[in-house]
Chains A and B, each alone.
Chain A
Amino acid sequence: MKNSLRALQRRTVAGAAAISATALMLTACGAAPTSTGSASASASDYTACMVSDSGGFDDKSFNQSTYEGLKKASTELGIQEKHVQSKADTDYGPNLRSMVQANCKLTVTVGFLLGDATKEIATANPKSHFAIVDYIDPKFPDNVKPIVYDTAQAAFLAGYLAAAESKTGKVATFGGLNIPTVTIFMDGFADGVKYYNQKKSKSVQVLGWDKDKKDGTFVGDFKQVDKGKVLTQGFLDQGADVILPVAGPVGGGAAAAIKEANAKGATDKLIWVDSDGYLTAPEYKDVIMTSVQKTMTDAVETVIKQDKDGKFSKTPYVGTLANGGVALAPFHDFDSKIDAGTKSELDQLKKDIISGAVKVQSPSSPQQQ
């Protein structure tokens, strides 16, 4: 019995191998290209590079957005690009050094973890240019351009919208880690709710973040999607009906929890972060009311273009509502459900923030130099 079973298995394996070999042969039967060695249209010899942090290029967060900016610049400007992924914090220095060795004119890095390494390598190689996303250090040498975002401005609008749309009078937020680039969303969100309460004499509550104590609910990393789901279920049980997860891919867990609740008749909503979730996470588009966007892809492309044209400057790029660096994404499917009055209030609020009539402050906001 055992033997026959084994023989059968062997035959199956052999069959499978034969089939795949045939498939390989079929695909290998194409005609050889006739011309050889015709070089493609002469590309620019300008090289832009990127070093990721340990999150990798597929982190659905700033590594990915920055890398997309680099790819976009590479196709649209016809430049060379190189990118290396760091597997651990110890790789940053060596990776940056190898980029300088590879004659990169501009090397883009991301986040505070790469801050020291970028500063060190930039100081040692004054002729190379560097740009770093989401981190700023007053001691950066003249060849480093920080790309930072005053995300609190867009999150403020999201907070106002959430408060206006909440039926239970409770909204909630949670973060991945208690770090400035995360809490700046939560600060803006909480202040937006507070502003709504003052304007409308309401008392909408924010769960998950206390701006004054600088403490709240955190996943502990940007990976545990299931924990994001559990946290969201907790918030929904406490009566919250609009959730802002600031934790990259963990937002998917929050969306799943809301979808489950809505399947049972609730009308809970989600606010996505970083990118327009309706487009980047379409599986959750029926619960994503809007997104707090940071347009890193465009910013990175712009900085690369400027450097290629010889217009590099160390002045930080600060994404704001005014320059479109941060924004509240379109409402998409929720467009018809949101009150026209609320929409016009949001437009007015945006204008007031740009003009400075409404001040949005967060200790995590990038300091203007």
Chain B
Amino acid sequence: MPENLNTEPAAEQTAADTATDTALATADGRIPPSPVPVASQGGDLGHDGGGSLLRQIFTGNSLVAFLSVVLAIVLGGVLIAVTDEKVGAAATYFFARPSDTLSAIWTAASGAYVALFQGSIFNPNAQTFEGMIYPITETLTVATPLICAGLGVALAFRAGLFNIGAQGQIIIGATFAGWVGFTWHPPVGLHLALVIVGGLLGGAVWGGVVGLLKARTGAHEVIVTIMLNYIAQFLLLFLLTTPAFQRPGNTNPISPLLDQSALYPLVMGEQFRLHWGFLVAVAATVFVWWLLNRSTVGFEFRAVGANPSAARTAGINVSKGYILVMAIAGALAGLAGVAQVAGTEKVLSGGVAATFGFDAITVALLGRSSPWGTFWAGLLFGAFRAGGTAMQADTGTPIDIVLVVQSLIVLFIAAPPLVRAVFGLNPRKKKTKKAAVAAAEGAGAA
């Protein structure tokens, strides 16, 4: 009965459910009711007081996610306007001619967002059709590693593990894949397959170690993944100082180019960077959806995520679940590494993973840990990244604004009541105020 293991917050369980549960427990009144209310017997053994808050944040309401994006974009626009030089100049004589300031504010904010749009979706100013649709292909290209790594974070979270380690898993995946790509020279077709397997394997090992440590020693996955990120980053930097990872006759810490046979084929020809890695990302999304919703293993993952103690009681091997889910999560992040070395970068360098591993956490958060939610969130962040480049080049708006917008999204998703309050959607607000007043009066009377 997978419905009962839904990761929805317990608070949203309706009274009807409770009534049904009570009816079941007392066999329709034939057995005397338990002194402890049935609702309070429901499996929460207090094993994750902090975890449940995290779960609420990760699997919150999609309306809040959408409104968070809107709010972040509006605030980003304010920031763009405030930091704009022309706005600053016009504001010095605001009271003499306010229209100047207002139009400068509008020009700055709208100009930046128009550039963002033209850099990420469609550019009507381009001379050729290819130029017009280039931005959207760029968005898909940049979104590819974000989707793959985001799926890794989302999947681990559904099993109750907070995977901060996507960055390290991408790096190790990219290292394995890259090394296979420039060191081995097998025939066309086989080469790319080996590169992908290398990336999957690298990520799976790096993620699996976390699951193993969690299952065997109880080490907290947050600490372990953060530390493994550093180990992966410095391991890569070290490897790049060894001749095996450098170009012949050159001591710069950058690997040789991957063989042509090791690269993902391009989807739309030479003019576009969009490669088959994107289709792999789509396939990975379908796979994760199937795994979570249609397979026994995925059911076990969700059971472990909902309540490890109950899962153990039900006969599910929790240790195995932790190891397996982290290995799969790592493999998905490894795919992101493959998309980097075999798709866009074509070399292994110290910054091959960019900040995709950390952005992936935000992507999974915005996607509420569901496979398709993560997919669309990955596309949105891909658009931000792709459009940010154009925004910076066309309007001189610092690229950091994009980072601020992304961070604001996280902030708002983490504070749903704030978002609801801003949009006047807080049903409990008045009630709580009244309750507070009543309580204060009661206290005063006492």
**Chains A and B come from one and the same complex:** yes
B355 touches A116 (CB 8 A): no
B389 touches A91 (CB 8 A): yes
B254 touches A112 (CB 8 A): yes
A32 touches B340 (CB 8 A): no
Interface membership of chain A positions 269-302, coded 1 if the CB is closer than 8 angstroms to chain B and 0 otherwise: 0000000000000000000000000000000000
CB contacts (< 8 Å) of B97 on chain A: these are 32
CB contacts (< 8 Å) of A88 on chain B: these are 351, 354-355
Q: Which residue of A lies closest to B123 (CB)?
A: A101
Interface residues of A in 198-256 (CB under 8 A from B): 214, 220
Chain A residues bordering chain B, tally (CB within 8 A)? 37
CB contacts (< 8 Å) of A197 on chain B: these are none
CB contacts (< 8 Å) of B399 on chain A: these are 84-85, 87
* Closest CB in chain A relative to B282 CB, distance in Å: 20
A113 touches B351 (CB 8 A): yes
B355 touches A87 (CB 8 A): yes
Cα separation A32 to B91 with both chains bound (whole Å): 10
CB contacts (< 8 Å) of A87 on chain B: these are 354-355, 399, 403
CB contacts (< 8 Å) of A101 on chain B: these are 393
Contact partner, A93, options B92, B94, B344, B350, Cβ 8 Å: B344
Residue A22, interface by CB 8 Å: no
CB contacts (< 8 Å) of A82 on chain B: these are 393, 396
Residue B85, interface by CB 8 Å: no
Residue B347, interface by CB 8 Å: yes
A-B contact count (CB 8 A): 97
* Closest CB in chain B relative to A86 CB, distance in Å: 8
Residue of A32, A102, A180 with highest tally of chain B CB at under 10 A: A32
Residue A179, interface by CB 8 Å: yes
* Closest CB in chain B relative to A88 CB, distance in Å: 3
Interface residues of B in 219-249 (CB under 8 A from A): 234, 237, 241
B96 touches A99 (CB 8 A): no
Cα separation A33 to B273 with both chains bound (whole Å): 48
Contact partner, A89, options B119, B354, B386, B390, Cβ 8 Å: B354
Interface membership of chain B positions 380-421, coded 1 if the CB is closer than 8 angstroms to chain A and 0 otherwise: 000000100110111010110001000000000000000000
Asked, given contacts A29-B95, A30-B92, A31-B96, whether A177 binds B253 with beta carbons under 8 Å apart, the answer is yes
Residue B138, interface by CB 8 Å: yes
Q: Which residue of A lies closest to B101 (CB)?
A: A28
Q: Which residue of B lies closest to A97 (CB)?
A: B389
A178 touches B237 (CB 8 A): no
B251 touches A32 (CB 8 A): no
* Closest CB in chain B relative to A85 CB, distance in Å: 6
Contact partner, A28, options B94, B237, B389, Cβ 8 Å: B94
B95 touches A102 (CB 8 A): no
Extra contacts besides A32-B93, A90-B142, A214-B251 (6): CB < 8 Å: A84-B393, A89-B349, A91-B389, A95-B393, A102-B394, A178-B241
Chosen A-B contacts, 29 in total, with CB atoms closer than 8 Å, are A25-B95, A27-B92, A28-B91, A28-B92, A28-B94, A29-B95, A30-B93, A54-B351, A82-B393, A82-B396, A84-B389, A84-B399, A85-B392, A85-B398, A87-B355, A88-B351, A88-B354, A89-B351, A89-B352, A90-B344, A90-B356, A93-B344, A95-B389, A98-B119, A98-B389, A112-B252, A113-B351, A177-B253, A179-B252
